[in-house]
Amino acid sequence: MPSVCLYFQVHQPFRVKKYSYFNIGHDHQYFNGEGADSLNNRRIFEKVAGKCYLPANRTLLDMLERHPAFRASFSFSGVFLEQAEHYAPAVLESFRDLVRTGRVEVLGETYHHSLSFLGSRDEFARQVAMQGEKVRRLFGVKPKVFRNTELIYSNEVAQLAERLGFRGILAEGADHILGWRSPNFVYRPVGTKKIGLLLKNYRLSDDIAFRFSSRAWAEWPLSADKFASWVNQVNGNGTNVNLFMDYETFGEHQWADTGIFEFMRHLPEQVLKHPDNDFATPSELLARHRPVAELDVPHFVSWADVERDLSAWRGNPLQDDAFAAVYRLEKPVQESGDAVLMDDWRKLQTSDHFYYMCTKWFADGDVHAYFNPYESPYEAFTSYMNAVEDLRLRLETKGGEHV
């Protein structure tokens, strides 16, 4: 019997405003873009709250109330939660309502939605602890299953997550790591003893997240009963169907007029029509099913782009320079003991900054352009590097030594 495992990523970065060379040295507010541009974080948050978070949470709460068997899970970046607290407390409260049902699991991740696993394992562990603490404080629960930023995963990520106390980890069910295997089982990461690996069924996930409104798609329009029939096909050939996606799929990537909310609203009853189907949270899946086999993933995979690798964030010299520049400041930032400097440094680690510098303009070009608030990757790079340089100067001033 396949259990449908819904996992939604909820994140909004603190975008760096247009920060020119002339800002360096006197303007230390990197994230306070104002006006009508796409770098105004408050404006963006309020827009997405109205289009996605609030209506999607209402839909989900309705689904939970009508279907006792329905389950879902979320991970919230700490920077999302901060913005929710400041810009839209009603959004935070509506997520709390979902978690209070006891049938919505909150997962662990890095507080700053960062690439810190690639830059500094110490910083990674600190950010995971920070996010766990924030979740505990806001939702009263302790994350037991981990998902790394952008589902970046390898054996090493799983091994470290196990050492940090997690019992499960999420990853992309990328073709090149699966080969002939199915993503619809629980696996054991190589080099671990206790942690279970849940893989995204990317075909079914992307049918909702990317193809749902595409009229060029042969399966358009996608109805809940049609989708449930695809889930039913897994019966006998898998224990779980993991549907992992950005929460902004609902209302923001797929607008309300595409019917996405109605699709979701009807999904539980259609899935549950088959007596062998149900829904499960990641922790429930791991409690029910022992791993069927070890899965060896020596190289990084992610859920981004057709390559499912790191090239969305670490694929060109601009990104590599920016990445090196920010992690070069780790030691002086830590030594400074200055909470404000530390906070700015961490906000500059958010993966989105590097994504905006991506210069891939082939198959994934449309996706990158859609998500990029800057006019070009070079503009993103310039603003970012100027902000990092200002931070470096502040550290130098603070510490009195050359950084």
Partner 1 sequence: MNGKMTALEAKRLLMEANPAWKAFWFHNGPVARSLKQLSETLPKVKADVFNHHVNAIKNDLAAWVRDVIGDKQLAGDMAKAKTQTAAADLVANRVAELEKNLAAEPRKKAAAKKK
On whether the CB atoms of residues 249 and 260 are closer than 8 A, the answer is yes
Q: How far is the CB of 229 from partner 1 (least distance, A)?
A: 15
In the bound state with partner 1, the residue whose beta carbon lies nearer, of 70 and 187, is 187
- Which residues of the shown chain bind partner 1 in the complex (CB under 8 A)? 175-176, 178-182, 185, 203, 236-238, 292-293
**DSSP tag of 305:** T
Q: Which residues of 117-140 are buried (b: 16+ CB within 10 A; e: fewer)?
A: bbbbeebbbbbbeebbebbeebbe
**CB of residue 11 to partner 1, shortest distance in Å:** 29
Q: How far is the CB of 64 from partner 1 (least distance, A)?
A: 30
**Nearest to partner 1 of 136, 203 (CB atom):** 203
Residue 369 CB, nearest distance to partner 1 (Å)? 27
Q: Which is nearer to partner 1, 33 or 173 (CB)?
A: 173
Residue 264 CA to residue 281 CA, distance in Å, equals 17
Which sign does the torsion angle of CA 322, 328, 334, 337 carry? Answer: negative
Q: Which residues are catalytic?
A: 150
Pairing of strands 196-200, 186-189: antiparallel
Nearer to partner 1, 2 or 78 (CB): 2
CA atoms within 13 A on the CB side of 139: 28
Contact criterion met (CB below 8 Å) for 299 and 157:
no
The burial of 190, by beta-carbon neighbours within 10 Å (0-12 exposed, 13-18 middle, 19 or more buried), is given as: middle
